[in-house]
């Protein structure tokens, strides 16, 4: 059996769910996975930036890398699908990515990594094909996997195992949509443990600030606060806020306070738009 590291992003993140997923993936792949729970107010936005970061983290190594499996379970919050959105997969530089078919999560991959197409799977079609060709699954077990709402536990790890093993998994190609035009408002994608707010686009695409700064509303200060533009966090004066080129994405911006918390100063959470970002 081919062993590969497995990294999972999921919004099913209570201890019971994480333990079950860890045990199932470990049994299938022979190693304990890294599971990153996304429990904030905007798991889709956090997943989009984090998945981009995971794939970017395999660059700049000066040599070959270990093929890795990335699993993403962030269902769109639209209630459109009767038993959940389909799962899709694609390969990038030898890595396998399996994800819920979530346009907001996947769109940055086309814009910044050039992923143009995914393979969309149907749970019943895949599991029945496996049972008929290579997997020792009885019909009752097939129905249990097909009907369960916990597909990220019962279906996705099997799909990953079968794809890594080179099984002929049935799927339909589907192009990723062209990246939408950037919103006028910039959103907070991730708030890190220091209170730095990782934004949803490269620093070079942040509107305004051509003269070196913005005015941003601060509930804590009861008015607007001047926010400068800086290249890196060490360039921001101590105790002052700034927008810098951060560590995420491909030069994505971060709203920071040197020696403090931008999230606290500006009252921001993941998914929030930056209020009154004007130059």
Give the mean pLDDT of 43-69.
94
Judgement on whether residues 34 and 131 belong to the same structural domain of the protein: yes
Give the mean pLDDT of 134-151.
95
Judgement on whether residues 127 and 30 belong to the same structural domain of the protein: yes
pLDDT tens readout for residues 72-120: 999 765 555 566 789 999 999 999 999 999 988 999 999 899 999 999 9
- Please determine, for residue 181, whether its predicted confidence score (pLDDT) is greater than 80: no
Q: What percent of the chain has pLDDT over 90?
A: 76
Instruction: Assess if residue 94 is contained within a domain.
Output: yes
pLDDT of residue 183: 62
Q: Identify the weakest region by mean pLDDT among 115-119, 175-179, 222-226, 236-240.
A: 175-179
Give the mean pLDDT of 174-196.
84
pLDDT of residue 75: 76
Nearest of 121, 124, 131, 132 to residue 163 by alpha carbon? 121
What distance in Å separates the CA atoms of residue 113 and residue 132, rounded to the nearest whole number? 36
Judgement on whether residues 38 and 171 belong to the same structural domain of the protein: yes
Instruction: Assess if residue 20 is contained within a domain.
Output: yes
Instruction: Assess if residue 65 is contained within a domain.
Output: yes
Order of strands across the sheet that contains 223-229 = 188-191, 197-202, 252-257, 241-245, 223-229, 213-218
Instruction: Assess if residue 180 is contained within a domain.
Output: no
Question: CA 66 → CA 59, 157, 160, distances in Å?
Answer: 11, 19, 16
**Mean pLDDT computed over every residue of the chain:** 91
Judgement on whether residues 87 and 207 belong to the same structural domain of the protein: no
Judgement on whether residues 169 and 196 belong to the same structural domain of the protein: no
Judgement on whether residues 123 and 232 belong to the same structural domain of the protein: no
**Residue with structure tokens 């997997």?**
135
Residue 231: give the domain boundaries.
Answer: 188-266
Nearest of 101, 132, 129, 133 to residue 117 by alpha carbon? 101
pLDDT of residue 211: 54
What is the number of domains present in the chain? 2
Judgement on whether residues 124 and 75 belong to the same structural domain of the protein: yes
Judgement on whether residues 201 and 96 belong to the same structural domain of the protein: no
pLDDT of residue 212: 61
pLDDT of residue 82: 63
Q: What is the number of alpha carbons within 13 Å of residue 105 lying toward its C-beta?
A: 30
The model's confidence at residue 21, banded by pLDDT at 50, 70 and 90, is very high
Give the mean pLDDT of 138-156.
95
Query: 76-80: which pairs have CB atoms within 8 A and are 24 or more residues apart?
Result: 76/44, 76/100, 76/102, 76/103, 76/104, 77/44
Instruction: Assess if residue 278 is contained within a domain.
Output: no
The model's confidence at residue 214, banded by pLDDT at 50, 70 and 90, is confident
The DSSP output letter for 278 is B
pLDDT of residue 180: 62
What distance in Å separates the CA atoms of residue 8 and residue 97, rounded to the nearest whole number? 10
Instruction: Assess if residue 126 is contained within a domain.
Output: yes
pLDDT of residue 208: 65
Judgement on whether residues 198 and 158 belong to the same structural domain of the protein: no
pLDDT tens readout for residues 230-270: 999 999 999 999 999 999 999 999 999 999 999 999 999 99
- Please determine, for residue 210, whether its predicted confidence score (pLDDT) is greater than 60: no
Task: Look at 213 and 239; give whichever has higher pLDDT.
Answer: 239
Nearest of 154, 86, 90 to residue 125 by alpha carbon? 86
């Amino acid at each position: 059996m081919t062993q590969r590291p497995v990294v999972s992003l999921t919004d099913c993140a209570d201890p019971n769910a994480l333990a079950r997923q860890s045990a199932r993936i470990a049994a299938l792949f022979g190693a304990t996975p890294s599971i990153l729970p996304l429990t904030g107010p905007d798991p889709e936005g956090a997943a989009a930036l984090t998945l981009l970061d995971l794939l970017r983290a395999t660059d700049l190594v000066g040599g070959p890398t270990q093929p890795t499996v990335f699993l993403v379970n962030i269902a769109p919050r639209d209630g459109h699908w009767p038993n959940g959105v389909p799962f899709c997969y694609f390969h990038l530089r030898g890595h396998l990515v399996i994800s819920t078919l979530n346009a907001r999560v996947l769109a940055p991959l086309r814009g910044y990594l050039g992923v143009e197409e995914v393979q969309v799977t149907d749970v019943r079609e895949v599991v029945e094909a496996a049972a008929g060709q290579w997997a020792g699954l009885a019909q009752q077990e097939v129905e249990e996997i097909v009907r369960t709402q916990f597909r990220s536990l019962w279906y996705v790890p099997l799909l990953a195992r079968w794809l890594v093993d080179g099984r002929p998994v049935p799927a339909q190609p589907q192009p990723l949509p062209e990246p939408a035009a950037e919103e006028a408002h910039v959103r907070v994608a991730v708030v890190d443990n220091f209170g730095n707010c990782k934004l949803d686009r490269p620093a070079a695409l942040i509107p305004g600030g051509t003269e070196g700064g913005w005015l941003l509303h601060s509930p804590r200060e009861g008015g607007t606060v001047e926010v400068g533009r800086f290249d890196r966090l060490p360039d921001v004066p101590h105790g002052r806020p700034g927008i810098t080129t951060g560590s995420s994405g491909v030069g994505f911006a971060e709203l920071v306070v040197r020696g403090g918390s931008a999230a606290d100063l500006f009252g921001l959470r993941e998914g929030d738009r930056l209020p009154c970002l004007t130059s």
